C-alpha cells in the first residue's frame, strides 16, 4: 500500500521531521569539539546577519578545540562577538588570524540539563510525527468517505501510515539515545 500518495507523503514529511530533529541535536554541546556546534550561530557581517559557516571555515583539529578561520580577516571581531553572544557558553580567543574555541568539560549538572533538553526536543519531534500521522489518516478517511478509495484500502492505508509513524518514532528514539549517551559520556 506504500505506493499510495498518502503513504509516500507520510514517509517524506516524517523524514523531514527526523532530519530537523537531528540537525537540532548537532547544535547541542557534548564536551567534545564538533563543527556542527557553531551551525546555529549568526554573526553581523557586511551589514547583514550570516551563519558562521557562510563567512568562515570551522575545523576540529583536536577533540577539545574548534578552530574558526574567517575568509575575510577583518571579520574576526564580529565572528568572535557572535560566538560570545551565543547561548553555548564558549570563550573564543582571537590571535589575529584564527579564532580558537576550547571546549570545556561539562559538569554533571550541565550534562543532566542537556539530557533533559534533548528529551524535550525528541518529544517535540515525536509530536510532529504524530501530527503528520493524524493529518494523513484524516485525509485517508476523507478520501474513503468521498468514495475515492474503498473502505478496505482505507484501513490498509491507515495501518501503513501507522507503521511508518512507528518506524520514525523509533528512529527519533535511537537518535535521542545516542545523543544522551554522548552527553553523559565522561
Same domain, 124 and 172: yes
Using one digit for the tens of pLDDT, what is the confidence trace for 5-59? 888 999 999 999 999 999 888 877 676 777 777 877 888 888 888 888 888 998 9
Judge if pTM exceeds 0.75: no
Using one digit for the tens of pLDDT, what is the confidence trace for 96-107? 889 998 887 778
> Residue 93 and residue 101: Cα distance in Å, rounded?
6
Same domain, 111 and 22: yes
Using CA atoms, how far residue 69 sits from 53, 59, 122, 159, in Å, is: 10, 8, 33, 51
Instruction: Tell me how many domains the chain contains.
Output: 2
pLDDT of residue 7: 87
Using one digit for the tens of pLDDT, what is the confidence trace for 127-172? 999 999 999 999 988 988 888 888 888 899 999 999 999 999 999 9
Q: Which domain holds residue 138?
A: 5-26+107-184
CATH number at 129 reads 1.10.132.20
Same domain, 91 and 132: no
Residue 128: which residues within 8 A CB-CB, separation 6 or more?
A: 17, 20
Q: What percent of the chain has pLDDT over 70?
A: 97
Quick check: helix, strand or coil at residue 70?
A: strand
CATH number at 63 reads 3.30.1360.40
Are 157 and 1 in contact by the 8 Å Cβ rule? The answer is: yes
Same domain, 150 and 177: yes
Amino acid at each position: 500500500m506504500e505506493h499510495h500518495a498518502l503513504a509516500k507523503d507520510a514517509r517524506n514529511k516524517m523524514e523531514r521531521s527526523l532530519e530537523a530533529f537531528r540537525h537540532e541535536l548537532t547544535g547541542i554541546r557534548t564536551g567534545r569539539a564538533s563543527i556542527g556546534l557553531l551551525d546555529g550561530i549568526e554573526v553581523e557581517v557586511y551589514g547583514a546577519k550570516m551563519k558562521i559557516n557562510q563567512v568562515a571555515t570551522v575545523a576540529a583539529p583536536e577533540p577539545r578545540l574548534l578552530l574558526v578561520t574567517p575568509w575575510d580577516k577583518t571579520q574576526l571581531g564580529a565572528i568572535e562577538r557572535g560566538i560570545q553572544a551565543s547561548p553555548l557558553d564558549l570563550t573564543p580567543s582571537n590571535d589575529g588570524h584564527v579564532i580558537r574555541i576550547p571546549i570545556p568539560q561539562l559538569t554533571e549538572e550541565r550534562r543532566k540539563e542537556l539530557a533533559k533538553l534533548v528529551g524535550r526536543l525528541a518529544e517535540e519531534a515525536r509530536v510532529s510525527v504524530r501530527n503528520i500521522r493524524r493529518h494523513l489518516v484524516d485525509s485517508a478517511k476523507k478520501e474513503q468517505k468521498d468514495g475515492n478509495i474503498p473502505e478496505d484500502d482505507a484501513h490498509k492505508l491507515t495501518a501503513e501510515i501507522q507503521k511508518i509513524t512507528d518506524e520514525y518514532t523509533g528512529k527519533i528514539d535511537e537518535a535521542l539515545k545516542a545523543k544522551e549517551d554522548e552527553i553523559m559520556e565522561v
